[in-house]
Amino acid sequence: MNEARLKIDRMGGIEEYRKRQKQAKMRRKKYQFDESLLYRLEEYIESDEFKELDKYDKNEILKKKREAEKMSERIENGEFDLSDQEEDESEFTMEELYKQTGLDYKLVYGSHKSI
């Protein structure tokens, strides 16, 4: 815990740490979103199966593609809220440390509030 706290302090404090974590999460989310949904939609639009669809179905798929592109832009611009932690806390907790290391806090400490 002390080493993690020192590292966070050198980084600029807990606020800067949380900001960087949120930005990294945003980049991962955007990459996953772009790579999967948009790629599959574009691939499908180029397929023979899409060309055989009626006008209504084609429009629906193109509409879905536009929605996916808008969502991608929102993620890229940081408008998509991915926050799942309390921003009010100004102290690094054991619960956050466990989360970062991939350990189950509740397994060790039960349902008690973080230390």
Q: What is the pLDDT of residues 23-68, one digit of tens each?
A: 887 777 766 666 677 788 889 999 999 999 999 999 999 998 888 8
Token duo for residue 105: 């806090």
In the predicted structure, residue 104 carries a pLDDT above the cut 50? yes
**Which of 69, 101, 83, 70 minimizes the C-alpha distance to 23?**
83
pTM of the predicted model over 0.75:
no
In the predicted structure, residue 102 carries a pLDDT above the cut 80? no
Q: Higher pLDDT residue, 77 or 41?
A: 41
Of 5-9, 24-28, 59-63, 110-114, give the lowest mean pLDDT range.
110-114
